[in-house]
Chain A
Amino acid sequence: MPELLQFLLSGITVGAVYALVALGFTIIYNASDVVNFAQGEFVMLGGMITVFSHAAGLPLPLAALIAIAATAAVGVALNKLAIEPARGAPVVSLIIITIGASIFIRGATQLVFDKQIHRFPAFSGDRPIAVGGATILPQSLWVIAGALAVFFGLWLFFTRTLTGRAVLATANNRIAAQLVGINTNYVMTLSFAMSAAIGALAGVLVTPITMTSYDVGLALALKGFAAAMLGGMGNPKGALAGGLLLGLLEAMTAGYVSSQYKDAAAFVVILAVLFAMPQGLFGRKSTDRV
């Protein structure tokens, strides 16, 4: 069954990319109930800034660190300048604000950098690793490890740290959180910085596989958003499962059914899951406020 194995490895690679993007959505959503459609731009910035710092002569690890730090700063700026002033706006307004932000970041990137497609070398070379008749690239292992590490990090953060619980408390009830002494402004800033940094890290990890350019963000954001909703928004477990499931679905459809309709198959499954489980696979139940 080397084909099946190859499809599985492909699905896990792509799924880990989606999962990394989806994980980025969770923190901001948890802290503010905002789905940040500019999350894909964080991934793009991570890749692009690394490309250009590396081209300017910096060693790759340093270039990646700069990219992550710079993107985190962009995340904080986004929160301060666009999300905080719009607090309490309806979902549809927030969607438009974050999409506006994503168009803005894209426009700025094409001015500061360029419109070409870029890539930097894989961390551990390009020699494929043979796994029972199928192969996987070392960089895919980096992406998978990155997704798992971010997942465990977030899980620990939300369940074991005071700050993480403060984030959840802020999301649940902002005023109550303030009453018990949580600095909600700090929580918001931290959430955006972390989300942006995770996005940038994703960009750094996936660029050797997917390549990057100023306009890769939207497609990544859509897939990551779909993955996060499939798993249940706000739950790191959901983001990881949703991402991997989406990647596997695409690979299996491309392998066994039709490569033309692999994206369609993924969305059909998402629709079916949402119809059966309106909160996604691992989503928290919500009740209407009257």
Chain B
Amino acid sequence: MKLFTTTALALVLGLAAPALADIKVGATVSETGPASFLGDPEAKTLKLLVEEINAAGGVNGEKIELVLYDDGGDPNKARTFATRLVEDDEVIAVIGGTTTGTSMAIIPVLEDAEIPFISLAGAIEIIDPVRPHTFKTPHTDRMACAKIFEDMKANGYTKIGLISGSDGFGASMRKQCLEIVADYGIEVLADETYGPTDADMTPQLTNIKGKDGIQAVLNPGFGQGPAIVTRNYAQLAVGLPLYQSHGVASDGFIELAGAEAAEGVRLPGTALLVAGLLPESDPQRAVVTAYKDAYEKATGKPVSTFGGYAHDALRILVDAISRAGSAEPSAIRDAIEATSGLVGTTGTVTMSAEDHLGLDLSAFRMLEIENGGWKIVE
């Protein structure tokens, strides 16, 4: 009898709500390993937002089920998890690839399976050349370089020194900066590197300081490296303007480097970092404030740019699913490509068949550290 009622109930419910099946969204990010500094907030953001969306009734009346794997930053593992998401979990889209290496390993799997993929990594190779099913949310490293060089040019700096981390992030940004630096009439006089776990960068900075004619220094990198560079920079009293990258755009950086050493450091950041400083009229203000409050309340940790990338990826995906009105991968792909005017934490996204990123330089804000806080300089 009981069995009968249960079955009947299930039948009735099934008939009443034919769209009860969940939408399965896959993700593989680097929650552990050398890129966990990036991947951890990404994973937390995805879990948090999926809960939020489901609590608000899901998308198109269906709940989202997040299948999340930790690839530890290993491209080989990332590829295996991508295969698993596609073949075994049968997801309709994949978010992830915290690093460029893991993203590039995932791409062939998803392109073969014709499943949309939104990467969270920086390099331009991910979306250039454009692949039909591959998108990404962070600005490219090249755009960060461009933003910095514009600021340098405006300040009349034409001879600079470069000190970059030898990890994927630093090496990739270094390469892309060197490719476009000449376009801005800027010359790189010193090109130093350091390892991601190094304890002291004074030898490299001494060499930069000793080179005649250098007017400013740029440090592409993420993790503790840039904080140590900034501290050593102050220790040696180099005295030239120091530019950091978007890789350290978080309040944690000021804390690690120390407010005194970090004073005057400039970097291209996103609206997320300066939510409180944005004018009321700024279209991003509401979005970044909501995300920042929710994230900090749920995790007790300060929000980071990288979590923002995951936020935007999920928003773009959910927006596409609701516009497509279906959870078919091909329909979602087309809808993602047609994303227009979507306000995210990194900027306002408008994609096209030729542009699977949909951001321009205006989304970056040149920030300066002042008295242990951020200031928008522009």
Residue ranges of A at the interface with B (Cβ–Cβ < 8 Å): 2-3, 6-7, 9-11, 13-14, 17, 110, 114-119, 126, 128, 134-135, 137, 206, 209-211, 213, 215-216, 219-220, 251-252, 254-255, 259-260, 262-263
Contact B210 A3, beta carbon cutoff 8 Å:
yes
Closest to A218 in B: B197
Q: How far is the CA of A53 from the CA of B37 in the complex (A)?
A: 22
Task: Label chain A's interface by main secondary structure.
Answer: helix
Contact indicator A210/B231 (Cβ below 8 Å) = no
Closest A-B pairs by Cβ, 4 of them: A255-B203, A219-B197, A211-B224, A254-B203
**Residue-wise interface mask of B (162-189) relative to A, using a CB-CB cutoff of 8 A (1 in contact, 0 not):** 0000100000000000000000000000
> A7-B202, A260-B193, A262-B195 given. 20 additional CB < 8 A pairs?
A3-B206, A6-B202, A6-B236, A10-B200, A10-B203, A14-B198, A14-B200, A115-B37, A119-B255, A126-B234, A126-B260, A126-B261, A135-B235, A137-B235, A210-B224, A213-B37, A213-B224, A251-B200, A255-B203, A263-B195
Q: Which residues of B contact A215 (CB under 8 A)?
A: 32-34, 36
Which bucket holds chain B's interface residue count? 35 or more
Interface flags for B201-216 (1: CB within 8 Å of A; 0: not) read 0111011001000000
The smallest beta-carbon distance between B169 and chain A, in angstroms, is: 14
User: Given the complex of chains A and B, what is the CA–CA distance between A9 and B194 in angstroms?
Assistant: 17
Instruction: Show 14 residue pairs from A and B whose CB-CB distance is below 8 angstroms, ordered by the A residue.
Output: A6-B203, A10-B203, A11-B203, A14-B199, A17-B199, A116-B40, A117-B223, A209-B200, A209-B228, A210-B224, A213-B224, A215-B36, A255-B206, A259-B204
| Inter-chain contacts of A262 with B (CB < 8 A) | 195
CB distance from A244 to the nearest CB of B (A): 14
Q: Does B227 contact A (CB under 8 A)?
A: yes
Contacts of A137 on B, CB cut-off 8 Å?
235
Q: Counting CB contacts under 8 A, is B252 at the interface?
A: yes
Q: Is B192 an interface residue when CB atoms closer than 8 A count as contact?
A: yes
Contacts of A14 in B (CB 8 A): 198-200
Report the bound CA distance from A114 to B36 in whole Å. 10
Q: Which residues on B sit within 8 Å (CB–CB) of A128?
A: 234-237
B2 within 8 A of A: no
Residue of B nearest to A16 (CB): B199
Determine the chain B residues whose CB is within 8 A of the CB of A216 once the complex forms: 197
Measured between beta carbons, the chain A residues less than 8 angstroms from B202 are 6-7, 9-10, 135
Distance between B221 CB and nearest chain A CB, rounded to angstroms:
13
CB atoms of A135 and B236 under 8 A apart: yes
Q: How far is the CB of A44 from chain B (nearest CB, A)?
A: 12
Q: Tell me if B258 counts as interface (CB < 8 A to partner A).
A: yes
Contact flag A114-B203 (CB < 8 Å), given A3-B210, A126-B258: no
Asked if B331 is at the interface of the complex by the 8 Å CB criterion, the answer is no
- Residues on A with C-beta less than 8 A from B207 are 3, 255
Contacts of B255 in A (CB 8 A): 119
Bound-state CA distance A251–B201 (Å) is 9
